[in-house]
Structure 1
Amino acid sequence: MTEHFPSKIGLSQQFSCSYLPQQQEQLLVILDPSCYTPTRFEGLLELGFRRSGDQIYRPHCPKCSACQSMRIPSKRFIPSKSQKRKFKKVTNEFSFTISHKERDNYYPLYEKYISLRHNDGTMFPPNRLQYESFLFCQWLPITFIELWHLDKLIAVAVTDTMPNSLSAIYTFFDPDYDSYSLGNVMIVAQIEHANKLNKEFVYLGYQIDSCKKMRYKAQFLPAQRFINDVWIEYVNKN
């Protein structure tokens, strides 16, 4: 771990947690402009930070430590039989492409996804300002891993690119294709892309074991979780 803890940090007000409603959330926010580069940010990822829009943050909750930063050592990832089967089915029927620019058809897909899949959450109702301020960033290169059914865009994985790693920011997909487990498939696609680029890690954001919506992340092994400022290894159980 090469990055030192930044000296210029802000502390947000407390607000209701969107994942554990019974808890209050509070964030550490990076205020040092020199940290806002791909290389410095990668060091902060190693310290459990993440970005939302242009802002780098880390949970610092008063009475809860449920959020655990999670990353996959991409070269050592071993897909399960189910993950292999689902990924093969998708690659047989659809096609992946890589873009480094946002396309006009991203937002309509995002809007449909939030409206049909997350209409009980804090991101509903969707709007373009929310979409842009959450996903995009002025100081970091972003890769868009796209999935197409012929000429129809059906999924996008928004992925940050650093010198030695990728960071999965958000995936949205067409709910009409829900039976293909596209959320899981797009994580495998990000790990595959990391291997092609010779990246060591794919960061998956925060894992909260008690949050049902996040349990799918625990299926990707081996993995590492940042617990008490140390990366702990989790391996396949079988």
Structure 2
Amino acid sequence: MSRSEPLRLYLTHAHACGYYDDRQARDLVLDPHDPRLPLAYPSALAQGFRRSGGHVYRPHCAGCSACVPVRIRVADFVPNRNQRRCLARNADVTLVETAPGHTAERFALYTRYLAARHAGGGMDDPAPGDFDAFLASGWQTTRFLELREAGRLVAVAVTDATPDALSAVYTFFDPDLAARSLGTLAILRQVEHARATGRTFVYLGFWIRAHPKMDYKTRYRPLEMLEGGHWRRMGG
């Protein structure tokens, strides 16, 4: 295969939409077997793709364009009052950057999180192999950013690192610590980590307007959204 030849794109069969019960979804997927995929991944993020396991995909649904890629431009981000309170409330929580993969401690937290947040959704009661297949990748520089309180693991932000960006792949946390707002904290700490390591963006995946599971992303302002092939500031 020539290095100048573009990566193949595959269109999946229709499958149940993860956000709307009455809709079917399809995805564009970059060839997962192409050895150039690691080199293409940074530009794929900038084109609205996202990683799940070893696959890099973007929704491509007939008659629906609800999923909008969004990202934080790190240099412009200033936490709002609630986010500053979250950081202050969790000043005792440390971040430890670690290699990805399954451990008994991580898997126990992951299982508790899914049981509390996604019961009956098909992800609960996972096997250890499900954990690695969903979160890890053999070709991408993925880091597990562990958040610990007095040494105890309370959250993990699964984060892909490219030269210019971090991509927030998934976060799971202790469901009994709702007062700490650990999901918010994980994003704020990823922004801090990106800034400390000289990166420009933190990609947050897809946003869906007014969707109760996705609209939280608009709290991280200014937020950039990809529309018509161009990134622009939301509300701008």
Query: Shorter-normalised TM-score: what interval?
Result: over 0.9
Quote the residue 1:72 is aligned against: 72
Tell me, yes or no, if the aligned pair for 1:221 and 1:235 is still in contact at 8 Å.
no
Tell me, yes or no, if the aligned pair for 1:6 and 1:30 is still in contact at 8 Å.
no
CA distance in 1 between partners of 2:120 and 2:229 (Å): 33
Instruction: Give deviations 1:40-73, integer Å, cap 9, x for gaps.
Output: 1010111111111011111000121000111100
Quote the residue 1:27 is aligned against: 27
Tell me, yes or no, if the aligned pair for 2:7 and 2:34 is still in contact at 8 Å.
no
Q: Which runs of 5+ in 2 are unaligned?
A: none
Instruction: Give deviations 1:69-96, integer Å, cap 9, x for gaps.
Output: 11100111111011011111101x3222
Range with bigger deviation, 108-117 or 223-232: 223-232
Quote the residue 2:144 is aligned against: 144
Quote the residue 1:99 is aligned against: 98
Please tell me the residue identity of whatever aligns with 1:66.
Answer: A
CA distance in 1 between partners of 2:229 and 2:121 (Å): 30
Quote the residue 1:114 is aligned against: 114
Cα pair distance change 1:156/1:7, threshold 3 Å: closer
CA distance in 2 between partners of 1:65 and 1:55 (Å): 21
Tell me, yes or no, if the aligned pair for 2:9 and 2:29 is still in contact at 8 Å.
yes
Please tell me the residue identity of whatever aligns with 2:97.
Answer: I
Please tell me the residue identity of whatever aligns with 2:16.
Answer: S
Cα pair distance change 1:150/1:7, threshold 3 Å: closer
Is 1:221 the counterpart of 2:189? The answer is no
TM-score where L is the length of structure 2: 0.92
Cα pair distance change 1:141/1:99, threshold 3 Å: same
Q: RMSD value over aligned CA atoms?
A: 1.8
Overall identity of the aligned pairs, in %: 35
CA distance in 1 between partners of 2:187 and 2:7 (Å): 33
* SS of 1:209 mapped into structure 2: coil
CA distance in 2 between partners of 1:152 and 1:229 (Å): 43
Aligned residues: 231
